[in-house]
Structure 1
Amino acid sequence: MKSRSSERIKIPPGFWAGLRQLGIAAHDVARKARLPLTIITEPVVTTAEYFAIWQAYSDLTGDTAKGITKLATAFETAKYPPTVLATYHARDYRDALNRMARYKQLCPPESLRITEEGEHCTIELEWQDTEQPGPPMLVGITLAFLLELGRRGTGHPLTAQFVEFSNSMGDVQVLEAYFGCRIQISAKRNRLTLHRRDLDRPFVSYNEELLEILTPALDQSLYEQQRSPSMTEMVKWIMKRSLTGGRPNIQAVAKELSMSDRTLQRRLTDENTSFKRLLIQAKHEQAREYLADPSLDMKEVAYLIGYEDQNSFYRAFRLWEGVTPSNWRTQHLGTN
């Protein structure tokens, strides 16, 4: 089985906006998940980090079921990412679900398997190439949003026939009120069963012109996702998530990429760079990102990019930018 330690998953900005509407700060989620704050400004994470974010949200809400229903209904349609817009503006509910299953490939590790039989349409949530199942909150949100999509698209208060979850989901009555059907816990699979007749309902949000723009672009993204990123990109990406409180070494990064440090160094040389050069670039870029956030003090910025003392950070930053971190922040954020 392929290692997914270097898998890259993009979190849409609308996710953080949805949490803000619920009174949950993105910084609190990052800290609860023990992840660097880069996930907010540069939201590309590994599978493990992605799961940690959802678990952190669950912990902060206190009850899985309530967290599911609140976020599913709070997420504003206008803030949907392109992959979801292509489903929201589909011709009918069936078209929307099929598009959702297709474009879920752009957001691993989830995948959807849709089956129509008799009066039922079942949508089973599976995990792409990973033995670790996602946290219950992510499972619940995924299935709840599929029903929410149908409700918003058709303009009707649709209900499910049956919902199955493999784990405990908190207050089941809250979920049954949302889905409008019986909920089974400790099932063998995570599955949403819809009334098949609802799939023929047209979407009031259907937009043919927009789909003609979005569909080719998303299909191209699917194609490009199959292509491997450069070694330089992968190494710098891993470095940025390993800077906090320490100094990533080539052995650790090579291990995450499932190769020897000699092989990694050779690959970087082939791309006209080196591990040391990329580490400096990663620290420089992250320093600028963090300094652009006025809520972080200098000591915290220094720690987040791997400096135990503030003076070392100041000296390094002056070499990069020619000014102190404080002056750089003043120049770029103003003195308001």
Structure 2
Amino acid sequence: MKSDRIKFPAGFLAGLQRLGIAPHDLARKARLPLTILTEPAEVTTAQYFRIWQAYTDLVGDTASGIIKLSTTFETAQYPPTVLATYHARDYRDALNRMARYKQLCPPESLRITEEGRRCTIELEWMRSEQPGPPVLVGTTLAFLLELGRRGTGKHLTAQSVEFSHSMGDVATLEAYFGCPIRIGATGNRLTLHRGDLDRLFLSYNQELLEILTPALDRSLAEQCSRSMADMVKWILKRSLTGGRLDIRAVASELGMSDRTLQRRLTDECTTFKQLLTQARHEQAKEYLADLKLDIKEVAFLVGYDDQNSFYRAFRLWEGDTPSNWRSKNFRVNPAVIESLT
């Protein structure tokens, strides 16, 4: 089971700002807290898709949004998973590393097939019934070509590109990919000239790869062994302010039925209700550590409609009020605590 944890690279926001898109505008359009974008955070699949759709709405044409973001992202701001591809030995090595380490960055995955003079890369999803926004699909495939261009220093072109949905101005995409674009296909595919895969990367860095590869492989192994309870609790923590905290919604995020999820949790000696309580408790303490947040805001952030309900729950968890707990654990001036309640 793949994790539903998705982390936006730090360079994502920097790229948007170079395009003239402010983080608060994107957060407002996506109907998400600004902290999800401005702090090192992970999001659920649903939140991830909303951010990409918000970007589309702000940038206008899908095709131009794809090209702008793919070419604006600076290599110096690549996350480790992408650095391990940019500094690969050749284009083939880079693509294979990208497909492997994409497992650390769901919900999309890549399937690479080499046949004859063609190399086809197909974009797949953890749940085929919930495909990603067109701009995410296009940016993912465009970045694979951009990776080859930056690594080899050559203006590589594709043989063909297929998209299952409308992607905006097709002529813009054809100019970028250097090949015909087919809309309405059965899947989303980038087909490269197989000979280009043998091209060496000018950015090859063996020493850096010897550092990155073991660390990424360990992360991959740890993710594959993560318990179902951990994944459920993580999804709940990222969804507390958005409502829909029932087991059916979380099961949908994980691509299974609510009955299957409950059975998996029972096997791990826990229940959905227990995990929801734990998620609220842990997040409440985390938010209370941030003295910029008042108690009413903390109550809202952990999914309580009113402050009194939050107070009652917190007393059950810690045997004390949120204000007193904050004061005892963070040595805050009582006058400051009073101003935050």
Aligned partner of residue 97 in structure 1, secondary structure: helix
1:327 to 2:327 alignment: no
Number of the residue aligned with 1:170:
168
Aligned partner of residue 240 in structure 2, secondary structure: coil
1:83 to 2:92 alignment: no
Relative to the length of structure 1, the TM-score reads 0.80
1:244 to 2:241 alignment: yes
* In structure 2, C-alpha distance between the alignment counterparts of 1:264 and 1:249, rounded to whole Å: 19
Q: Deviations over 1:43-97 (max 9, x none)?
A: 2222222222211211121111011001001111011111111110011111111
* In structure 2, C-alpha distance between the alignment counterparts of 1:164 and 1:219, rounded to whole Å: 31
Identical aligned pairs, as a percentage? 66
Residue of structure 2 aligned with 1:22, choices 15, 19, 22: 19
Q: List runs of 5+ in structure 1 lacking aligned partners.
A: 331-336
Does the Cα contact within 8 Å between 2:233 and 2:275 map onto a contact in 1?
no
Aligned partner of residue 258 in structure 1, secondary structure: helix
Residue of structure 2 aligned with 1:221, choices 206, 219, 222: 219
* Shift in Å, 1:263: 4.5
The residue type paired with residue 323 of structure 2 is R
Number of the residue aligned with 1:13:
10
Q: Deviations over 1:2-48 (max 9, x none)?
A: 7x8x7222222222222222222333323322234453225222222
1:60 to 2:58 alignment: yes
Number of the residue aligned with 2:130:
132
Question: Aligned runs of 1:259-274 on 2, under 5 Å?
Answer: 259=262, 263=266, 267=270
Q: Deviations over 1:85-122 (max 9, x none)?
A: 11100111111111111111111221212222222222
* In structure 2, C-alpha distance between the alignment counterparts of 1:148 and 1:274, rounded to whole Å: 42
* Shift in Å, 1:228: 1.8
* In structure 2, C-alpha distance between the alignment counterparts of 1:263 and 1:25, rounded to whole Å: 44
Does the Cα contact within 8 Å between 1:317 and 1:324 map onto a contact in 2?
no
Taking a change above 3 Å as real, the CA distance of residues 298 and 64 of structure 1, as seen in their structure-2 partners, is farther
Does the Cα contact within 8 Å between 1:109 and 1:130 map onto a contact in 2?
no
The number of equivalent residue pairs is 320
Relative to the length of structure 2, the TM-score reads 0.79
Does the Cα contact within 8 Å between 1:245 and 1:305 map onto a contact in 2?
no
Residue of structure 1 aligned with 2:158, choices 132, 157, 160: 160
Does the Cα contact within 8 Å between 1:265 and 1:275 map onto a contact in 2?
no
Taking a change above 3 Å as real, the CA distance of residues 264 and 306 of structure 1, as seen in their structure-2 partners, is farther
Number of the residue aligned with 2:94:
96
Query: What's the C-alpha RMSD, in Å, of the aligned pairs?
Result: 3.7
1:35 to 2:32 alignment: yes
Does the Cα contact within 8 Å between 1:236 and 1:279 map onto a contact in 2?
no
Taking a change above 3 Å as real, the CA distance of residues 325 and 226 of structure 1, as seen in their structure-2 partners, is farther
* In structure 2, C-alpha distance between the alignment counterparts of 1:101 and 1:245, rounded to whole Å: 32
Q: List runs of 5+ in structure 2 lacking aligned partners.
A: 252-257, 312-319
Taking a change above 3 Å as real, the CA distance of residues 55 and 257 of structure 1, as seen in their structure-2 partners, is farther
* In structure 2, C-alpha distance between the alignment counterparts of 1:245 and 1:94, rounded to whole Å: 41
* In structure 2, C-alpha distance between the alignment counterparts of 1:264 and 1:26, rounded to whole Å: 42
1:318 to 2:319 alignment: no
